[in-house]
Structures are given as structure tokens and as C-alpha cells.
Amino acid sequence: RRKQLDEELSKLSRKVAVVFSDIVGSTRFFEEFGDVAGLVYVHKCIDMLSPIAEKHGGTICKTIGDALMTYFEDPLDAVRAAVDMQRTLEAYNSHQQEQERIHVRIGMNFGPGMIKDKDVFGDAVNVAARIQTMAQPDCIYVSASKDERANLEEKLRRANIPFQQAAEAEVKGKAEKIIALDILWREMKGAAVEVVPRAPQMAGRVDVAKAAEAPREKATVQSGTSPVAAIMRPKVRFSLL
């Protein structure tokens, strides 16, 4: 029985690039504009980034709060997806008021993981989450397991993707520190990817942004109020019998 289990687990195990993208300042946005506007704000970001991940061959695992978790078979596909995410948000932000702009920090780790039902488990996930917390706003930090570190750096050089060492981090359960590389995406040639935001096929996801744009009763919005925050409640009438 143990041999059979080992064989089954070996089928699930593979090297994978796990990517976390987390919105910077979402807590402040919720506090300032309220839960409904905050939910629209988060979903708008996820609906922009999800198609980009899928375009580069990524699989969307789940959303964790305001973070999007995806995985890729090829680490270069993961890096290119992350670059296009930052480019797209930069283009989006250039047409938005300051309070409407969306900034994310992205962390990636390439290493051993176990894939089951479009979800990833294992060391690669834990390290990717740690790398994401280290990343600065609008930055992409990548790392790899000890055995894959040199290979990842060589792949980046061959693909002409500029990078520099950003930081070292201690990860629980690991004796050696994890080295994070900062992808210098603004030095790369290319333009923002044009995508049509859509709700990705994930459990528990609803197109909140679209729902918020449904016709509502007209109302006056005070000067300085965020357009997203100005979501009005529909008129409700009660009859006493």
C-alpha cells in the first residue's frame, strides 16, 4: 500500500513556478471607501490580471483575500506574465485618479510542488508567498530552489530579461536563506497587453465590478469621493399590512 501511495504522489509531483500577486494598500482603501467599493476594487484588479496569466499558459489556483495565486510549468512564462501584469496596471493607472490606481507586488518561486485539482501544495508555495511579502510595490521578485537557482538565472539571461539581486530572506524550515531577484521590467521593451477583463472560472467568484455598474438611482457624489466608492443602494419600499 505504501508503494502504491508513493507512486501516486510521484505522479502529482513536478517542478512548478508559483506566483502570488498582492494589491498594495487595499486595507487602506477598504477603510476609506467601505467594503462594497473595496470589493469592486479588488475584483477589478483580479479580472485584469487573470487573463494575462492564462494568456501565458498559467493556471489560476485561487484568490486569497486580495492576492491572486497562479502556477506555471515554465518559469520564463511566469516571469513574462508578471511583467505584462505590471505593464498593464501601469497603463491602466495612467488614466485613473490617484485613489483609483492599482499597484501590486508580485512574488514567484520555482521549485518542487504537488499539483492536484488545479491547486499547488508544497515548498514552492510557501517560498513564493514569502518572496511576495518581500517585494516592493510595482516590483517582481523571483526565486528558485537551491537546485534550480543557477538554472533560473541562466534562463533569464538567455531570454534577455534584466534582473538584479534584491534581498535574502529566511524561510521557516530552511537552513539556507532564499535569494530574491528583482526583475527590472521597466528596462524591457514592449507595451502593455490589451485584455478584456473577465471573471475567471474559480469557485466563489462573481463579477462584482459588472454588478456594481448596473443602473441605480441617481445621486449626488461629494467632491473628492472615489467613483468606485460612490455605489448607491437601490431604493427599497416597505409596506405595513
Q: Tens digits of per-residue pLDDT, 194-233?
A: 544 444 444 344 444 444 444 444 333 343 444 444 443 3
Question: What average pLDDT does the structure give for the chain?
Answer: 79
Burial of 85 (0-12, 13-18, 19+ CB in 10 A): buried
226 contacts 28 by C-beta, under 8 angstroms:
no
Does pLDDT of 121 surpass 60? yes
Q: What pLDDT score was predicted for residue 217?
A: 41
- Interval 34-54 mean pLDDT: 92
Residues in the chain: 241
Return the bridge partners of 112, or none.
15
**CA dist., res. 8 & res. 12, Å (int):** 7
Helix (H, G, I), strand (E, B) or coil at 201: coil
Highest mean pLDDT among 94-108, 109-123, 173-187: 94-108
Does pLDDT of 135 surpass 60? yes
How crowded is residue 227: how many other Cβ atoms within 10 Å of its Cβ? 12
Torsion angle of the four alpha carbons 58, 60, 65, 66, in this order, in degrees rounded to the nearest 10:
40
Q: How confident is the model at residue 173 (pLDDT cuts 50, 70, 90)?
A: low
pLDDT tens-digit series, residues 68-80: 999 999 999 999 9
Nearest residue to 29 via CA among 228, 221, 241, 208: 228
C-alpha dist (Å) from residue 222 to 28, 94, 99, 219, 230? 20, 23, 15, 10, 9
Q: What pLDDT score was predicted for residue 7?
A: 59
Query: pTM, whole model, 2 decimals?
Result: 0.76
HSE-CB of 106 using CA atoms within 13 angstroms = 30
Q: What pLDDT score was predicted for residue 144?
A: 92
- Interval 133-159 mean pLDDT: 92
If one compares 75 and 12, the residue with the highest pLDDT of the two is 75
Candidate from 29-33, 50-54, 102-106, 122-126 with smallest mean pLDDT? 122-126
114 contacts 11 by C-beta, under 8 angstroms:
no
Q: What pLDDT score was predicted for residue 176?
A: 75
164 contacts 182 by C-beta, under 8 angstroms:
yes
